[in-house]
Structure 1
Amino acid sequence: MSIISSQFITMFPTILEVLLLVLTGLFSWRWLSTYLRRENLPPGPVPLPVIGSLHLLGSLPHRSLHKLSQKYGPIMSIRLGSVQFVIVSSPDAAKLFLGTHDTVFASRPQIQAAKYLSYDNKGMTFSEYGPYWRSVRKFCTVELLSATKINGFAGMRREEIGLMVEEMKAAAKVRKMVNLSEMVSSVIEGMVCRMLFGKKNDDRFAFKTVIDKSMEATGIFNLADYVPMLAPFDLQFGVGRRGCPGMNLGLLNIGLVVSNLVHLFDWELPNDMSPSDLDMEEKFGLTTPRLLPLLFTCIFFYRWWSRHNNLPPGPSPLPVIGSLHLLGSLPHRSFHKLSQKYGPIMSIRLGSVQFVIVSSPDAAKLFLGTHDIVFASRPQTEAAKYLSYDHKGMAFTEYGPYWRSVRKFCAVELLSASKINSYAWMRREEIGLMVEEMKAAAKVRKEINLSKTVSLVMEGMVCRMLFGKKNDDRFVFKSVLNKCVEALGTFNLADYVPILAPFDLQGLSKRSKSLGKELDEMLEILIDEHERNQTLKSQNRDQMDFIDTLLSLKKEYSNAHDELSYTIDRTNMKAILVDMVAGAIDTGTTSIEWVLSVLIKHPRVMKELQQELKTIVGDKQIVEEDNLTKLKYLHMVVKETFRLYPVVPLLVPHQSVEDIVINGYNIPNKTRVLVNYWAFGRDPNVWSENWEEFLPERFLDKEIDFRGQDFKLIQFGVGRRGCPGMNLGLLNIGLVVANMVHWFNWELPNGMSPSDLDMNEKLGITTARAKPLIAIPTYRT
């Protein structure tokens, strides 16, 4: 049931094509305007691809935004880079956001500088809204910034104000010019540092220098954050939950300094300058640069960042597209070639997303074995959002309590050995129908499209197990399911260059939404039908399909104090069913197709397997499920097929949940990890120099299985995210292959030699044969 969601750039094999796509987006602004209106965002300027509306901001963004608000109103939407902002420009509007709906807008965006300077956002200013922030704010308000605590430093403030006044008096005696900006900064520094540290100077370091540099770094525009102008969107002290708890202290310091300066002295400008000529122009932030030069400078930031962050080695990315141009129509082959240059742990940026490619069993063991829990999560994709009910199934769900509960439920209730065995009668029926169809074709030497036949057999077994039927006159299972599987496996540029998502240049979002609706209508009809018949079926659990089981357990857990109770609802039921369908039909079909292909291509291996079947099963006997455990050579054939022709060459992407160091390399949080399982089978260090030869005997007397203990065969994944349907998958594959080979000999049409059989692959949600497998059966007497 492994699902691959990483089909890459079949439609964009060169950098030229990707750049042309971006240029197409530049001329799509009228369409985007329609999109924004449809989403009913507040009015605002139409963004450009990549930079959004950054070009509309000058060196003083608050002035630019004020000018824009005069056109679009006090509540204005604007996209800066890839981040959506709403600009609030009036007291009444601010009251709505920070008063009426204060809780909704109480959180903070996370920025890169704050991560390092605020101890991973552990302070109060940059923390996200939640229990931790409420606790820290309460502590600061009660213990550090209470009226009693502030009053306790009154004597210190009096001293600092006295020193300031004496310095001003000395300057006044000789009519010396005073840099009030510098002087006021020094006074505030003295008061704050004495209050915080107990001193305002230290010979070992300069408070002011360190603090100034930290403030400067926090205030600098950082394109990587996509939050270039955060500061001007706050009110002077803020209001509501995120209002500044130090407001009283701030006002007190301002009042003390200003009142004493004005009370004790008169002030005049130097060089006989008139007060009306005083320059009142402000500069924004601490050191805000001009935006567009910075924008185009920062596209080269990644090289510096990767060197200084010690990522694994990998190709240098281009702006916007990263290294997408290096991937061809078969990415697993491209990654394998790159890994021969950069090593088995390679970093690569695809669009704006950071990946690590793992290309050897030893490296895979580090990521999916030793540090399994760190890489147990999944990245979120747009197609899965619409087709997997906003990632509510098992395959695409992020790691956490919900996923653990769903996986446990599926493993225990749906995919247990007893549950699988209860459908043995149904599989026997479907295999019998398949054999009869092959017999009829053998009588007239009819060519058979084995790819199509196998697909129909798998569809029949899976749909009967899930839905209780394989056909329905109201809709076509296969058509709907195929379209959904195809959408899940289609490369979506928006997943890698998020700024292009609103354009939906491939039409994938629209198609996924439409398919999701069609799929949901089909599942609703089936579930409603099962609910009406539930009482009859509940008397015989052997007759219960997966929908029946889900409904019975939904009812069973609805009032139970159990961790599963919150996972079994109608939406989650449908998401689980989608995962089961997508995982079982396509992967099972492709697996069987490849096993049959290698058997036809290698007659010696076919004869060896047929001899084993004759010995174990006997003549003219259908291969039963209990025969499979005794078919040792069949197991070796399947293993060797999966080694050279993996159905899922790039395992479903993993995603890190925290920063980690592996083999001396820094792997940042939310890095996506792709395991290139296809490369494993081509490693001479693992399989010797004859790795290219199809040789099932290499597994003779070797304890290498699919559970991933040695990480050489991980067709079904491994660790926490390993496929819980592995046993069912292997059972289906073994039954279909064994019966096709036991009952029939196979030859290629038009006198084609087995050695000429085309074994090229094509990429989809699974890596199937590029051309259908066509063969002629001969009944074995």
Structure 2
Amino acid sequence: MDSFLVYAAACLLAALWYAAWFRRHSRPRSAPLPPGPTGLPLVGSLPFLEPDLHSYFARLARAHGPIFSLRLGAKLAVVVTSPSLAREVLKDQDAAFANRDVPAAARVITYGGGTEIVWNPNGPVWRMLRRACVREMLCPAGLDAVYDLRRREVRAMVRSLRARAGSPVDVGAEMFLSMMNVITSTLWGGTLEDGEERSVVGKEFRLLVAEITELLGRPNVSDFFPGLARFDLQGIQKQMHVLLERFDRIFESIIERRRRKLEEGGGKKQGGDDFLEFMLRLETEGGDGKTPFTMTNVKALLMDMVVGGTETTSNTVEWTLAEMMQKPDVMKRAKEELDHVVGKDGIVEESHVPKLPYLGLVIKEVLRLHPALPLLVPHCPSSTRVVGAYTVPEGSRVFVNVWAIQRDPAIWKDPLEFRPERFADADRWDFSGNDFSYFPFGSGRRICAGIAMAERTVMYMAASLLHSFDWEPPKGMTLELEEKFGIVMKKARPLVAIPTPRLASADHYC
């Protein structure tokens, strides 16, 4: 009897072992994680990160392949560096990758998250906000409605530069100031009619935006080890709360004044249209009938546009002038086009922009070499996915290195050379995000909502600078194009140049 029990137990164990072996070897194996550097225990690759993350990731891609992973503290980062894999993430599996891994500092400055466009998860609220922005405010008709406000600030920029003719100008700082004024005028320019008051508010916003972008770009322990976020070990969230309170006080004041103006006018418009009026009307109506639109949404969208639209656009204009000063033949051709379309007895208007195809090629080439967000805004899969035969786990942080793709010698001939003519016979290379060898504004449902405004504003400002002035570096100063990675791509050293008026009449600088 005992021997029978032993024999039966042995048969049972053998059967269980065989069943386990069969299950393990008969089912498909899970795709492995992408290859990548090993890193250290606990901290992973954090100690080895370099300041210029876009070029560091490009070198890792050459060593590990077009998709690789690296551990950053408790977070897994996956980096994609080829058109085919970018298509998988941003188009083929767009719905799964349409969420964000929100940094702790960004969650604070966006009123707790879930209230604006950039960091909001994919869902009904995000779709309602995106629809409100793109279909109403940032559509051609919406942009046309606030053109007078943009024009006012661009002409103020030209007058300011005319007053400093012959003296060195920090082009980056000047473009930041001008773009901040353009953005804020577009948002609520009909509320602050007094020029001096607009200047004071603009100055405070410039200081706040500079501090916010610095904090957003600072490595934060709370992001690499989410379990420690509640302790705010570096005090970054605390500092961001202070900046949010300062922003909020300004927003509250401007919103209250706009409400009073509407009430005094019996609900009718007073002065120029702007985006704030549309948002207040949507807030009063309670949203789109399906998803509510609250005052927090109003302020969070104002924050999105002020912080997200200023440095990205002003840096692109600065890069444009810097590249053209390095290539006098390109600048000469652009000015000849402007003289033919506008004439030296005219003033650049936004209506001239569609008639400036060569300048359009220049801007495309600038954005190829210097995309405003070289790694885009990181994506975060809502479920575990397979990309390029590798597993991308749910909750990982996915970077698409558009900077490296747009400089890939397998795609672009002489990729480091600034040559706008490469776009002359290539209609497929536009800003739609449909070609994954050129997509400086991203692609898919999370493509930049402000493309139309950015394209108009960059072209309008660049055309005004080139048409109104000749530009040259100060004596003894060497032009350079070194980059500095951050939330947005900057020049490592600001462009300093001397403007010389080139139009005959002083009236053209009014």
Among 263, 274, 280, which residue is 1:551 paired with? Answer: 280
Task: Say whether 1:700 aligns with 2:432.
Answer: no
Alignment-derived partner of residue 592 in structure 1? 317
Q: Which runs of 4+ in 1 moved over 4 A?
A: 201-207, 472-475
1:735 aligned residue:
460
**Aligned-partner Cα distance in 1 for 2:120–2:261:** 31
- Alpha-carbon shift at residue 640 of structure 1 (Å): 0.8
- Following the alignment from structure 2 to structure 1, what is the Cα–Cα distance between the partners of residues 38 and 357? 47
The answer for the alignment partner of 2:23 in structure 1 is none
CA distances 1:137-157 after superposition (whole Å, capped 9, x unpaired):
xxxxxxxxxxxxxxxxxxxxx
| 1:412 correspondence with 2:412 | no
Note if 1:318 corresponds to 2:46: no
SS in 2 for 1:745: strand
1:106-147 Cα deviation digits (max 9, x unpaired): xxxxxxxxxxxxxxxxxxxxxxxxxxxxxxxxxxxxxxxxxx
Structure 1 residue 648 corresponds to structure 2 residue 373: yes
Counterpart of 1:448 (choices 162, 169, 174) is 169
SS state at 1:621 partner:
coil
TM-score of the pair, normalised by structure 1: 0.59
Deviation string for 1:220-247 (max 9, x for gaps)? Answer: xxxxxxxxxxxxxxxxxxxxxxxxxxxx
Of 719-728 and 613-622, the range deviating more from structure 2 = 613-622
Partners of 2:111 and 2:296 within 8 A in 1: yes
CA shift in 2, pair 1:682/1:550, >3 Å? same
1:511 corresponds to: 239
* Cross-structure match for 1:89: none
Measured in 2, the distance between the counterparts of 1:779 and 1:517 equals 43
Q: 1: CA distance between counterparts of 2:52 and 2:267?
A: 48
Could you tell me which of 224, 227, 248 is aligned with 1:496?
224
Q: CA deviation at 1:473?
A: 6.4
**Aligned residue in 1 for 2:108:** 386
Equivalent position of 2:354 in the other structure? 629
Query: What does residue range 389-404 of structure 1 map to in structure 2 within 5 Å?
Result: 389-391=111-113, 392-404=115-127
Distance 1:668 1:502 in 2: 24
1:9 corresponding residue in structure 2: none
Counterpart for residue 425 of structure 1: 148
Does the Cα contact within 8 Å between 1:358 and 1:674 map onto a contact in 2?
Answer: yes
Aligned 1:87-236 pairs, distance under 5 A? 205-206=15-16
C-alpha displacement of 1:555: 1.4
Give the structure 2 partner of residue 347 of structure 1.
69
Post-superposition Cα deviations, 1:73-105, rounded to whole Å, max 9, x if no partner, equal xxxxxxxxxxxxxxxxxxxxxxxxxxxxxxxxx
Secondary structure of residue in 2 paired with 1:686 = coil
Deviation of the 1:493 alpha carbon: 2.2
How far 1:595 moved relative to its partner?
0.6
Task: Tell me by how many angstroms 1:390 deviates.
Answer: 1.3
User: 1: distance between equivalents of 2:412 and 2:266?
Assistant: 51
User: Which is bigger in relative contact order (C-alpha 8 A, separation at least 6)?
Assistant: 2
Contact 1:475 1:522 in 2 (8 A): no
- The verdict on how the C-alpha distance between 1:438 and 1:204 changes in structure 2, with shifts beyond 3 A counting, is same
1:482 Cα deviation after fit = 2.5
1:670 aligns with 2:391: no
- Structure 2 CA distance for aligned equivalents of residues 733 and 538 of structure 1: 34
Aligned twin of 1:27: none
Structure 1 residue aligned with 2:385: 660
Q: Aligned residue for 2:56? A: 334
Following superposition, the deviation at residue 308 of structure 1 comes to 7.0
- Report the AA paired with residue 555 of structure 1: T
CA-to-aligned-CA distance 1:762-781 (integer Å, 9 cap, x gap): 23321111112111111214
Deviations 1:233-284 (A, max 9, x none): xxxxxxxxxxxxxxxxxxxxxxxxxxxxxxxxxxxxxxxxxxxxxxxxxxxx
Whether 1:459 aligns to 2:188 is no
Distance 2:98 2:271 in 1: 34
2:45, 2:30 → 1: CA distance?
19
CA contact (8 A) 2:76 2:396 kept: yes
Letter of the 2:210 partner, please give it: N
Partner of 1:476: 204
Give the count of matched residue pairs.
482
Residue 328 of structure 2 is aligned to residue 606 of structure 1:
no
Inter-CA distance 203–563: structure 2 relative to 1 (3 Å threshold): same
Aligned amino acid, residue 67 of structure 2: I
Unmatched 5+ residue regions in structure 1? 1-169, 172-185, 187-200, 211-306
After superposition, the Cα gap between the structure-2 partners of 1:694 and 1:475, relative to the gap in structure 1 and judged at 3 Å, is closer
Q: In structure 1, the residue corresponding to 2:499 is in which secondary structure?
A: strand
Identity level (%): 36
Query: Structure 1 333/413 Cα, relative in aligned 2: closer, same or farther at 3 Å?
Result: same
CA–CA distance in structure 2, aligned partners of residues 309 and 702 of structure 1: 37
**Which amino acid letter does the alignment assign opposite residue 521 of structure 1?**
R
Q: What one-letter code is carried by the residue in structure 2 that aligns with 1:520?
A: D
Return closer, same or farther for 1:780/1:537 CA change in 2, 3 Å cut-off: farther
CA distance in 2, matches of 1:475, 1:605: 34
Deviates more, 1:452-461 or 1:513-522: 513-522
Deviation of 1:542 after TM superposition, in Å, equals: 7.0
Contact 1:388 1:575 in 2 (8 A): yes
Equivalent residue, structure 1, for 2:415: 691
CA RMSD of aligned residues (A): 2.8
Alignment gaps of 5+ in structure 2: 3-8, 21-28, 193-197, 504-510
Q: Is contact 1:650–1:677 with CA below 8 Å preserved after alignment? A: yes
The amino acid across from 1:424 in the alignment is: Y
Q: Give distance in 1, aligned partners of 2:81 and 2:42.
A: 26
Q: State how far apart, in whole Å, the 2-side matches of 1:487 and 1:479 are.
A: 13
CA contact (8 A) 2:482 2:491 kept: yes
Change (3 A) 1:585 1:482: same
| Counterpart amino acid of residue 516 in structure 1 | L
Residues 553, 503 of structure 1: CA spacing in aligned structure 2 closer, same or farther, 3 A cutoff? closer
In the TM superposition, what is the alpha-carbon distance from 1:537 to its structure 2 partner? Answer: 8.0
